[in-house]
C-alpha cells in the first residue's frame, strides 16, 4: 500500500469517526442529563438520513441539499420531543432493564414504520456540486465531502462546548446532570428542559444521518449498525461526557484506521477489544459522568 492510498484510508476512517462523534455526542448528552439509555438513538440517525433523502428528492437535483441537511434533523428533533413526552418521560426513574427494553421496542417499531414509509430499497444522495471533487495533496486525492463531514463534526463539538458553557440553556443542562431537583428549586421547568435535551439528542443523531447520506446508501438496517458503534464510542469515553464522546470517537477512529491499514479483516474486532480493554481498566469509561450529588449523600 502506497502513501497516497494509506492517507485516503486514514481520512476515510477519520470521517467515520467524526460522524460517529456527532451521533455519540447526542447519545451521551441524553444520558448525562436524563440518565436514560436510548437504544432508539440509531433510529433517529436512520430517520435523519431517510428524511434527508426524501427532502432532497423534492426539488431539482442538488438544489435542496443544504435546506434538507438542516430540515431533516429539525424534523427528527421535533419527533424526538413528541416521543419524550409520550414515552421516555415515564421511565426516567425506572431500572435500566426497563429503559433498555422500552427504547429497544421503540427501535423495532420505528424500523418497521420506516420500512413501510420509505420501502426496502436503498437511496443515494449525491454531495452538492461544490463538495463533489477531490482535494489533491501530495499525489493523494482527498474527497472534499469527507473533509466537510470532519469540519462539521468539529463545528458541532465547538458548538456544543459553547452551548454548554456559554449559554443559560447550557448551564441548565449541566446543572440538570448533577441535580435536577436543585434546578427546579431555581424556578426552572425541568421536564421541559428534559424534552429539549432529548430533542437535541435526536437532532444530533439525525444530523449524523443526514450528513452521512452522500457517503453511503441510505436504507433500512442503518439504525442497528450505527447503534453499536455509537455505544462503543460513548462507553469508551464515559457515558454522559461530551468530551468523552470526542475522545471515544478519536480512539475508535484511530483503532479503525490502524486496523484498516494493517489487518483489514480484523478491524471490527479491534473496536470491541478496545472497548473491553477500556472498561476493564476503567469500569465507567475514560471520562465517566459524575454521579449525582444527592444520590451519594449518606
Partner 1 sequence: MATRARLGVGFALLLLIAAPWVLPTAWLLVLENALVLALFAAATNLLVGWTGLVSFGQAAFYGIGAYTVALAWLHGIAPFWLAFPAAPLIAGLVALLTGAIALRARKLYFALLTLAFSELFYVLAEQLYDITNGANGIFGAMVPDLLVSPRPGFYFTLAVVTAALALLHRICHSPFGLALQAIRERRVRAEALGLAVAHHELAAFTLSGAFCGLAGALYVVHDQTAYPELLDWVKSGEPVIVAVIGGISSFAGPLWGALFYQIAHDALVVLTRDWQLVLGALLLLVVLFRPGGIVSLFPGREEG
Partner 2 sequence: MLEVAAIDVYYGTSHILQGVSLAVRAGEVIVLLGRNGAGKTTTFRAVMGLTPARRGDIRFENKAITHLPPHAIVRAGLGLAPSGRRLFGNLTVAENLALAELPGGPWTRGRVLALFPKLAEIAPRRAAFLSGGEQQMLKIARALLAQPRLLLLDEPTEGLAPVVVRELGGWLRGMREEGLSILMAEQNARFALALADRGYVMEKGRILREGTTSELLTASELATHLALGPRQRPAENA
Interacting residues toward partner 1 by CB under 8 A: 37, 87, 90, 96-98, 100-102, 104-109, 111-113, 115-116, 224, 228, 231-232, 235, 239, 265-266, 268-269, 272-273, 275-276, 279-280, 283-285
Closest residue by Cα to residue 30 from 88, 97, 93: 88
Looking at beta carbons only, is 171 or 254 nearer to partner 2?
A: 171
CB under 5 to 8 A by kind: which of partner 2, partner 1, none does 294 bind?
partner 2
177 binds, among partner 2, partner 1, none (CB under 5 to 8 A by kind): partner 2
Restricted to residues 259-298, the positions that interact with partner 2 (CB under 8 A) are 290, 293-294, 297
The answer to the question of residue 171 lying near partner 2 (CB under 8 A) is yes
Beta carbon nearer to partner 2, 29 or 230: 29
Give percent helix, percent strand, percent coil of the chain, each to the nearest 5. 75, 5, 20
Sign of the alpha-carbon dihedral angle for 165, 296, 195, 242? positive
The pairing of strands 140-143 and 134-137 is: antiparallel
Applying CB under 8 A, does 188 fall inside the site for partner 2? yes
Q: How many helices (H) and strands (E) does the chain have?
A: 11, 2
Q: With binding defined as CB under 8 A, does residue 161 bind partner 2?
A: no
**Phi, psi for residue 112 in degrees, rounded to 5:** -70, -45
Among residues 91 and 243, whose Cβ is nearest to partner 1? 91
How many C-beta atoms surround the C-beta of residue 274 within 10 A?
19
Among 62, 182, 220, 288, interactor with partner 2 by CB under 8 A? 182
Helix (H) or strand (E) holding 142: strand 140-143
What is the C-alpha to C-alpha distance for residues 200 and 74, in angstroms, rounded to an integer? Answer: 9
Q: Which residues contact 140 (CB under 8 A, 6 or more apart)?
A: 3, 4, 5, 7, 8
User: Judged by CB under 8 A, which of 153, 172, 207, 240 binds partner 2?
Assistant: 172
Selection from partner 1, partner 2, none that 106 binds (CB < 5 to 8 A by kind) is partner 1
Of 198, 107, 203, nearest to 156 (Cα)? 203
61-80 in b/e form (b: 16+ CB < 10 A) is: eeebbeebbebbbbbbbebb
**What does 239 bind: partner 1, partner 2, none (CB cut-off 5 to 8 Å by kind)?**
partner 1
Site map (CB under 8 A) of partner 2, residues 191-210, x = contact: x-------------------
Stretch that binds partner 2, among 65-73, 98-106, 164-172, 228-236 (CB under 8 A): 164-172
Binding site for partner 2 (CB under 8 A): 168, 171-172, 174-175, 177-179, 181-191, 290, 293-294, 297
Amino acid at each position: 500500500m502506497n502513501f497516497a492510498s494509506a492517507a485516503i484510508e486514514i481520512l476515510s476512517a477519520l470521517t467515520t469517526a467524526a460522524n460517529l462523534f456527532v451521533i455519540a455526542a447526542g447519545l451521551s448528552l441524553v444520558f448525562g442529563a436524563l440518565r436514560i439509555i436510548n437504544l432508539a438513538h440509531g433510529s433517529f440517525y436512520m430517520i435523519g438520513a431517510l428524511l434527508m433523502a426524501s427532502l432532497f428528492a423534492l426539488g431539482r437535483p442538488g438544489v435542496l441539499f443544504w435546506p434538507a441537511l438542516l430540515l431533516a434533523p429539525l424534523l427528527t428533533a421535533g419527533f424526538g420531543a413528541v416521543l419524550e413526552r409520550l414515552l421516555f418521560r415515564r421511565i426516567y426513574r425506572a431500572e435500566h432493564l426497563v429503559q433498555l427494553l422500552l427504547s429497544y421496542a421503540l427501535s423495532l417499531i420505528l424500523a418497521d414504520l420506516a420500512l413501510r414509509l420509505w420501502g426496502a430499497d436503498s437511496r443515494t444522495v449525491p454531495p452538492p456540486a461544490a463538495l463533489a471533487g477531490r482535494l489533491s495533496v501530495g499525489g493523494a486525492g482527498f474527497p472534499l465531502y469527507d473533509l466537510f463531514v470532519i469540519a462539521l463534526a468539529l463545528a458541532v463539538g465547538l458548538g456544543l462546548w459553547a452551548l454548554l458553557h456559554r449559554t443559560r440553556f447550557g448551564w441548565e443542562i449541566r446543572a440538570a446532570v448533577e441535580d435536577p431537583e436543585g434546578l427546579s428549586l431555581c424556578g426552572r421547568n425541568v421536564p421541559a428542559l428534559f424534552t429539549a435535551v432529548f430533542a437535541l439528542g435526536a437532532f444530533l443523531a439525525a444530523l449524523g444521518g443526514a450528513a452521512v447520506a452522500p457517503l453511503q446508501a441510505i436504507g433500512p438496517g442503518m439504525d442497528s449498525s450505527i447503534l453499536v458503534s455509537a455505544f462503543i464510542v460513548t462507553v469508551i469515553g464515559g457515558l454522559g461526557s461530551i468530551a468523552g464522546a470526542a475522545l471515544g470517537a478519536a480512539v475508535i477512529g484511530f483503532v479503525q484506521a490502524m486496523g484498516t491499514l494493517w489487518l483489514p479483516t480484523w478491524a471490527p474486532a479491534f473496536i470491541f477489544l478496545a472497548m473491553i480493554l477500556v472498561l476493564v481498566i476503567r469500569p465507567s469509561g475514560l471520562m465517566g459522568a459524575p454521579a449525582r450529588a444527592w444520590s451519594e449523600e449518606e
